[in-house]
Amino acid sequence: MQKVALACLLALGLAGPASLAAAEETPITVRVISKDAKFIGTSMGGVRVILRDARTGERLAGGLTRGGTGDTERIMHRDRGRRARLAGPSAAKFETTLELEEPRLIEAEAYGPLAQPQAAHRASSTQWVVPGRGLSAGDGWVLELPGFVVDVLAPAAHTTLKPGTRRVRFRANIAMMCGCPVTPGGIWDADQYEVKAVVRKDGGAVQRVDLDYAGSPSRFAGTVNIPGPGTYNAYVFAYDPQNGNTGVDRTSFLVPRE
């Protein structure tokens, strides 16, 4: 009889800790916002989000942010308080529910926008997460991606120009990481950004020239003088002197001998 009672007590003792360690559903919402702009979602191919255990590296969940760029007035309001909620119902997000048995220090990694690989960046953050206590209230877990999306439209990569060419017209599309357009006097003011083309031949800088707003949202253009035939490499950059935000794209072109 005593043996039976002891066995029951041992069983209860073993069951207690096991029940305390049962996994709890813990919802997590991750949003990725463009520096000085809006959320990055479906229109830009989404951002790849990975959740890992920060200590062991174990992958816990992964997927893409989906949805819109969010409410412009809510996000870009000049007088908003530091604790103002930015995300509305339309703001892009990645949602998952983890089964956690104990607190975990979790790393969230974001990479994108996936539709513009030349502009893609990676950002990461760590945060403690307790079983049953999610990170979906308010804005959720927000990561910021810096940069501009810069697309060199002309000259296209590896373009062969006419022999004797001495002036090359550069055209570029400059947008925020969320895809939001850049216009003079707009919320994202073309007049406050520095946009330049830098052309190199044989590893040396040939010329650095301003690209000016070209009359359509996000379009910039300028003409570079080149010294003669050869193979040229170039890059176009956009820079915001107010916060250091920067984006780059590259191209190349060939001018044959006459």
Parse the chain into domains and list their residue ranges. Answer: 23-145, 148-255
Mean pLDDT, the chain cut into blocks of 10 residues (258 residues total): 45 45 90 94 96 93 96 80 77 96 95 95 94 92 95 96 95 97 96 96 83 98 93 96 95 93
pTM for this predicted structure: 0.83
pLDDT at residue 85, as a whole number: 83
pLDDT at residue 55, as a whole number: 87
pLDDT at residue 211, as a whole number: 98
pLDDT at residue 245, as a whole number: 95
* Contact (CB, 8 A) for 2 and 66: no
CATH 3.40.50.1980 fits 23-145, yes or no: no
CA angle 193, 196, 201 (to 5 degrees): 165
Per CATH, 23-145 and 148-255 having the same topology is answered yes
pLDDT at residue 199, as a whole number: 95
CATH 2.60.40.10 fits 148-255, yes or no: yes
pLDDT at residue 22, as a whole number: 86
